[in-house]
Amino acid sequence: MPQVVLVNPQIPPNTGNIARTCAATGTELHLVGPLGFEISDRYLKRAGLDYWPYVKLHYYESFIQFQTIHQQRGGRLLGFSVGGSANYVQFEYQANDWLLFGSETTGLPTEVLAACDATLYIPMAEPGVRSLNLSVSVSIGLFESRRQLGYLYS
């Protein structure tokens, strides 16, 4: 099953909302530091409501530390970015994919994008809009991958 990776998230409620989505779908959530908040942040906990016991949460202090786990477990790294090269809907997902999303303010760092097997974008009709909210983007990407892999029917 695809996994969600947040690299340097900055806004606690976004991460809390994403954690809630991951809990509802049984998706592992990987947080890669540095974070813009403490894991114990009350806004993070509030956005995740009482679903935290259902979140399969992993934390890494750095992307290098995360890469060690990724190499052990395998799978492709798919970076979501406004500058991605493939439309997320037209991309063919695999069950062991890792869906990477960057911080709300800067997106994925260059070195993380360089480590990705593919970069994906979510098309937007209005060129004046820089990006979607992080929790919305994660939901869009996660549910499309789950749809393609047949996980929405169980």
**Annotated binding-site residue numbers:** 102, 122, 131
**CA 116 vs CA 33, 39, 84, 133, 147: distances in Å:** 18, 26, 11, 21, 22
What is the domain count for the chain?
A: 1
Give the residue numbers of the binding site for S-adenosyl-L-methionine: 102, 122, 131
Instruction: Name the residue range of residue 72's domain.
Output: 3-153
Output the CA angle 65-66-71, nearest 5 degrees.
Answer: 105
What tens-digit pLDDT sequence spans the chain (154 residues)?
999 999 999 988 899 899 999 999 999 999 999 988 777 756 556 655 577 788 899 999 999 999 999 999 999 999 999 999 999 999 999 999 999 999 999 999 999 999 999 999 999 988 888 888 999 999 999 999 999 999 986 5
Residue 31: CB atoms within 10 A of its CB come to: 21
Bridge partner list, 80: 120
Which CATH number do you get for residue 125? Answer: 3.40.1280.10
Rg, C-alpha atoms of the chain? 14
The pLDDT score that the predictor gives to residue 43 is 58
pLDDT number for residue 52 = 77
- Hey, what are 124's tokens? 């937007």
Amino acid, res. 71: Q
Residue 58 confidence (pLDDT): 95
pTM (global) more than 0.85:
yes
